[in-house]
Amino acid sequence: MSIRTRVPALMAAAGVSFFGWGGPAVTPVDGKEYDFVIVGSGSAGSVLASRLSEDPNVSVLLLEAGKDNNHFDVHHMSRVAQLQNTAFDWAFRSQPEKSTNGRVHYLPRGKALGGSSSINGAVYVRCPPEDYNEWAQKWGCKGWDYKTLLPYFMKSERLQDESGNPVKLPAHGNDGPLAVTYFTLEQAEKQLSPWIGHIYRSFVNAGIDKATDDYHSGDFRGVAVTQHNVDRGIRADSFTTWIKKTGAIDRKNLTVVPCSQATKIVIDGKTATGVQLRQGETSDELRKAKDQVVKAKKEVILSAGAYGSPWLLLLSGIGPASQLQSVGIRPIVDLPAVGKNLKDHLYVSVPFATNQQIFSVYRPGLDMIQASFDGLVRGRGFTAYLPYQVIVHTDSGVDPKKLKPDLQIYGMPLFIAGPANSFADVKKASNVNPIDPTGKYPYAYTMMPTLLNPKSAGSVTLKSSDPIEYPIVEHRFLEHPDDVEVLIRGMQLCRKAAATEPLKGLTTEEILDQDLLKTAGASDSREYMEKFVRSKAVTVYHPTSTCRMGPDSDRNSVVDLSLKVKGVKNLRVVDASVFPDIVMGNTNAPVYAVAERAADIIKEEHGLAK
């Protein structure tokens, strides 16, 4: 991508059209009728809208509560933290979480075209094959095993290098719409940061896990360079990828309407016939807006996410009957599992100081200026991606019965635990005090052990029948002791890597929480590490499983194996909420594959052209 073609992206900061496209208008839809009405334009909704509208004989309406994502901060990864707590973010909050010292956790979700794929870290992880084989075998979801889903991962994917040239690797696609940027270790060291090599080799040399060139082509376990949904410096979100770049936005049979929040599924008897909605950008505007009803001749499809989809089902009278009655909603279908089984990944930041030159937000010198120029103007280099550049998938050893890696560790050539960096506000929102409040350590790198297999589970419930009032989200983070133990062992592995060459010779000290040391003793004590985990752990923003898929015999599920809501005709859910259980890695890529497969299921059922 040349500087000339990147100028429109820079101009977007001033509100000028990106890619020369002004975005869809907010148009009334009251009384209109479409074959398919899709609620939510995120990682699943945009895929479905694109694939279903491939048949010119069907009409598709894609509704999005948020606005257009055509914005400088959306498209450039170095600006991702500036999207938090803005109009692009639902900014949910958890209930005070007892096992994390009563903290209220900040829970961002994308509220824009592209949904959470417009505000996430753009890390591409399919997760281990064992996840999907468990879906089929343990959870009874036949047809959702890895062998079945692999072609859908490959169908969506366009594996490339930083310049956009195709990269040929086993089990990857090159003809799909979704850009996946791949680096070899040598390329990452040269083009991004030499510290990637230091961190990578220390994990391998410490025996934490083996080196792997690609965590998708073979064994998922190992130490690797992260793959990103970034296309030559520009975020590859779902809406830009599947709706704009494919040309679907120009199809006469596809209508996209932003700033349209669904408030209820219209149900006649036990058949979904449409969606009630209000149009507006703010809560005040939505409260003043009139209700509109759009009709669906074939199906209503919810792709509103792990918080939004159960929220809308509950508002529509689908869920635990007693809970619905308690807020004055007449139950239509008693489905006890709606909003239950909520799971998410948690991480802690473990930073280490160095006296060597490293990218630093504390020292905005020529290196940072050059890196910013390269990222924003040339679409290359360190700032074109989030700093999660080394990725480790390994076993903590906490549950010997587990056959899958339960621990993910990011290695980042950047300090993200102090007050001067752009992540500080995110941490503040989850009531996490910075480890280095004085900025004493100008140069540091960070490791982030992440809990992949949480045994603690929470819920999404209604606070009231008011469709504009946010639901109650209770994650119950770290209530199971194994969850705490996995993160503690993750911290220990990070320390082991930092004490191994080449990092050993580059590291001066671990940056510890001095206030915690005063009350918890030595940093290697069990008391310090457990208190650190409970006081510092925050979500990685991967909620799943609140509308679980399961066979007809499974009362603890919400949708069947075709993702149809049980007990209601013409109503489907397609997003991360249908995962039978949380996957052992980032959730965006799995949602793409689920949506691609769901599109084929829907096409086959309705006799649509493929």
Asked if residues 493 and 500 have their Cβ atoms less than 8 Å apart, the reply is no
- According to DSSP, residue 178 is labeled E
120 annotated binding-site participant:
yes
Q: Which residue has the higher pLDDT, 293 or 427?
A: 293
Q: Which one of the listed residues 76, 228, 345, 542 is annotated catalytic?
A: 542
Structure tokens, 399 = 């549950």
Model confidence band, residue 440 (pLDDT cutoffs 50, 70, 90): confident
Per-residue pLDDT for 138 more than 60? yes
- Residue 218, pLDDT score: 74
Rounded distance, CA 515 to CA 523, Å? 11
Q: What b-and-e string marks burial along 564-600, b requiring 16 or more CB atoms within 10 Å of the CB?
A: bbbebebbbbbbbbbbbbbbbbbbbbbbbbbbbbbbe
122 in a labelled binding site: yes
Q: Is 123 annotated as a binding residue?
A: yes
pLDDT at 432: 56
78-82, 180-184, 468-472: the lowest-pLDDT one: 78-82
The strand pair at 346-347 and 333-334 is best described as unpaired
To 5 degrees, how large is the angle CA 76–CA 151–CA 131?
80
The confidence score (pLDDT) of residue 3 equals 42
What confidence tier does 455 reach under pLDDT thresholds 50, 70, 90?
A: very high
pLDDT of 241-257, one tens digit each? 999 999 999 999 999 99
Task: Give every CB contact of residue 607 below 8 A, 6+ residues apart in sequence.
Answer: none
For this structure, is 198 an active site residue?
no
Q: What's the residue count for the chain?
A: 610
Q: Which residues contact 341 (CB under 8 A, 6 or more apart)?
A: 457, 459, 545, 546, 548, 556, 581
Cα separation, 133 vs 154, in Å, equals 18
State how far the alpha carbon of 176 is from the alpha carbons of 141, 157, 380, 399, in Å: 26, 4, 22, 38
Domains of the chain, CATH where assigned:
34-182+235-340+459-467+543-610 (3.50.50.60), 184-226+346-453+479-536 (3.30.410.40)
Residues 6 or more apart in contact with residue 110 via CB below 8 angstroms? 42, 66, 88, 89, 90, 116, 117, 118, 119, 120
Residue 346 confidence class, pLDDT cut points 50, 70, 90: very high
Amino acid 355: pLDDT: 87
**What are 186-228's pLDDT values in tens digits?**
999 999 889 999 999 999 999 999 999 999 987 899 999 999 9
The pLDDT tens digits for 466-502 are 999 999 999 999 999 999 999 999 999 999 999 999 9
Give the tokens for residue 64: 């999005």
Residue 416 has pLDDT above 70, yes or no: no
What is the token pair recorded at 541? Answer: 């923003």
What element of type H or E holds 186? helix 185-191
Residues whose CB falls within 8 Å of the CB of residue 423, separated by 6 or more in sequence, listed in order: 81, 416
Give the integer Cα–Cα distance in Å for 277 and 65. 9
Q: Which helix (H) or strand (E) holds 274?
A: strand 271-279
